[in-house]
Amino acid sequence: MTTRSVFITGAAAGIGRATALQFAREGFHVGIYDVDSRGLEELSQQILAAGGSVRAGLLDVTNVDQWRSALEEFYNDTDSLDVLINNAGILSSGKFAEIPLMRQKLIVDVNVNGVINGSHTAYHYLRDTPGSVVVNLCSASAIYGQADLATYGATKAAVKSLTEALDIEWSRHGIRVIAVWPLFVKTAMTEDMDAASIRHLGIHLTPEDVAGEIFKAATHRPKIPKVHYDIGFGTKVFSIVTKLSPNMVTRAFNRYYLSS
């Protein structure tokens, strides 16, 4: 049997790390890529000690040349790219006008351009791998714009739109493109966040919760095509309420409950 492969960005910690371990346990050859060399080394050793197969490499997702080198090297291991997981992301919370503009531009560069760079560069590898899947990490913050998370939510809304478009374009090549939508997750990224939505909704998901759902979404093709996967009870409720409520009600809820 051909070994299936998964390439994960932002893999050194949090959701990326948990996802790498999940796929490794399921027998995948795992590519773990990040800018954190120490985290990658620790994760690589953990996967190897458990009998897994792994390739680790440094990757700044805003650098196209690094994407090209990393993907070529990884693809040559198994002559396949079964799953690409665009997980790398950063955020800053707080009032929009108080967050430095350069920081906001970096959030866009990593969260949006990183996904564009990876998807575009990986296309021919995905096309040449039957049944391949792209998993983009979205966020419940993109369901409706969140105060104190304005730019972050905007980047995830862009990822939502890109996912939908590529799912249509690439379906002719047998490539699935999906987005997973967790609410807030207990990771280092959310430890210092200062947003009213977190204070009201709390943080109930673990990286392992999200990793399990990513694995199921990536490896189980539904009979009825599905693009968006809500993760966690809170996300499901928030999504349904937003879809069913008039826009003025949704705005009022976000303004008076999630922004104070």
Q: What are the residue numbers of the active site?
A: 152, 156
Q: What's the rounded Cα separation, in Å, for the pair 42 and 165?
A: 37
Q: What's the rounded Cα separation, in Å, for the pair 56 and 113?
A: 22
What's the DSSP call for residue 128? T
Token look-up 């990224």 returns 189
User: ∠ CA(55), CA(56), CA(62), 5° rounding?
Assistant: 125
- E strands, 76-203, are 83-86, 133-137, 176-182
